[in-house]
Chains A and B, each alone.
Chain A
Amino acid sequence: MTTLDTRPHITDEVPGNYLTFRRGILSWIFTLDHKRIGVMYLVAVLSSFFVGGVMALLVRTKLLFPGEVSWMTADQYNKAFTLHGAIMVFLVIIPSIPAALGNFVLPIMLGAKDVAFPRLNLFSFYLWVMGAACAVYSLLAGGFDTGWTFYTPYSSQFGAGGTIPVLVGVFILGFSSIFTGLNFIVTIHKLRPPGMTWFRMPLFLWAVYATAIIQVLATPVLGITVALLVVERAFNIGIFDASMGGDPVLFQHFFWFYSHPAVYIMILPGMGIISEIIAVHSHRHIFGFRFIAFSSIAIAIFSFLVWGHHMFTSGQSPLMNVLFSAITFSVAIPSAVKVFNWLATLYKGSISLNTTMLYGLAFIFLFTIGGLTGIPLAVLSTDIHLHDTYYVVAHFHYVMMGSALIAMVGGLHHWWPKMTGRMFSEFWGRIGCTLVFVGFNVTFFTQFMLGSQGMPRRYYAYQPEFKMYHHISTGGSYIMGIGFVITAIYLIHSLFAGKKAPANPWGGASLEWQCSSPPPHDNFATTPRVGDCYDFSAVHWDEKLQGYVVDTEAHVAAARSDSASGKGH
Chain B
Amino acid sequence: MTNLISTLLLQSSSGASGDTTLATGQAVTPKTFWLPQGASTFAREIDWVFEFINYINYFFFFLVVGIMLYFVWKYRQKGREVYARGPSHNTMLELGWTILPTIIVVVIFFMGFSGFVDMRTPPANAYQIDVTATRWNWVFKYPNGATSDDLYVPAGKPVKLVMRSEDVLHSLYIRDFRVKQDVVPGRYSTLWFQADQPTAEGEFHWLFCTEFCGTGHSSMSRKVYVMNEMDFDSWLVEQGRWLDKIDPAELYFKAGPKLYARCAGCHTLDGKPGTGPSWGDYDGSGNVWKRSSDPNSTHKVDQKAISELIGPGKQFENAQSYIRASILNPNQHIVDGFGPAMPTFRGQLNDKAIDALIGMMQHLDEFDTKSPWAKKSDGAAAPAAK
Contact = CB atoms under 8 A, between A and B. Distances in A.
Contact of B221 (A283, A286, A380, A463): A463
Interface in A227-263: 241-243, 246-249
B101 to A, nearest CB: 5
Interface in A362-390: 364-365, 368-369, 372-373, 375-376, 378-385, 387-389
Which of A146, A241, A372 is packed against the most chain B CB atoms within 10 Å?
Answer: A372
Interface string B184-202: 1111010000000000000
Contacts of B57: 372-373, 375
Interface string A343-361: 1111111111100000001
A232 to B, nearest CB: 14
A384 B61 CA distance: 24
A284 B86 contact: yes
Contacts of A347: 71, 75, 86-87
Interface string B216-228: 1111010000000
Nearest to B59: A372
Interface stretch (A181-189, A492-500, A537-545): A537-545
Nearest to A449: B34
B50 A376 contact: yes
Given A375-B108, A388-B171, A332 B86 contact: no
A325 B109 contact: yes
Contacts of B42: 381
Nearest to A335: B101
A536 B185 CA distance: 61
A336 interface: yes
Contact of A381 (B77, B102, B119): B119
A364 B173 CA distance: 34
A78 interface: yes
Nearest to A453: B36
A388 B178 CA distance: 13
B84 A541 contact: no
A285 interface: yes
A337 B94 contact: yes
B101 A154 contact: no
Given A329-B105, A454-B36, A313 B71 contact: no
A158 interface: yes
Dominant SS among interface residues on chain B: mixed
Contacts of A332: 101, 105
A390 to B, nearest CB: 11
Nearest to B73: A351
A372 B180 contact: no
B75 A349 contact: yes
A378 B218 CA distance: 26
B209 interface: yes
Interface string B7-38: 00000000000000000000000010111100
Interface stretch (B62-70, B144-152, B357-365): B62-70
Interface in B28-62: 31, 33-36, 42, 45-46, 49-50, 53-54, 56-57, 60-61
B77 A537 contact: no
B241 interface: no
B64 A364 contact: yes
A421 B156 CA distance: 72
A200 interface: no
B215 to A, nearest CB: 5
Given A333-B98, A350-B75, A541-B80, A343 B64 contact: yes
B53 A376 contact: yes
A468 B46 CA distance: 26
B81 interface: yes
A536 B218 contact: no
B249 to A, nearest CB: 36
Contacts of B189: 315
Contacts of A378: 109, 112
B85 interface: yes
B5 interface: no
A374 to B, nearest CB: 10
B117 A456 contact: no
Contact of A318 (B120, B171, B221): B120
Contacts of B109: 325-326, 329, 378-379
A462 interface: yes
Contacts of B84: 282-284, 348-350, 536
Q: Which of B35, B90, B106, B116 has the most CB of A within 10 A?
A: B116
A289 interface: yes
A369 B167 CA distance: 38
A507 interface: yes
A368 B179 contact: no
A33 interface: no
15 contacts: A154-B169, A242-B187, A246-B186, A248-B169, A313-B180, A325-B116, A345-B86, A346-B72, A346-B75, A350-B76, A350-B82, A350-B83, A384-B179, A458-B218, A541-B81
Interface of A: 74-75, 78, 145-147, 151-154, 157-158, 241-243, 246-249, 282-291, 313-315, 318, 321-322, 325-326, 329, 332-333, 336-337, 339-341, 343-353, 361, 364-365, 368-369, 372-373, 375-376, 378-385, 387-389, 449, 452-454, 456-463, 507, 534, 536-537, 539-541, 569
For the complex of A and B, 10 pairs with smallest distance between CB atoms: A242-B186, A454-B175, A379-B112, A381-B115, A380-B116, A348-B86, A346-B71, A459-B218, A541-B80, A350-B84
Given A248-B185, A382-B50, A458-B217, 6 more contacts: A78-B217, A284-B85, A288-B89, A333-B101, A379-B108, A453-B36
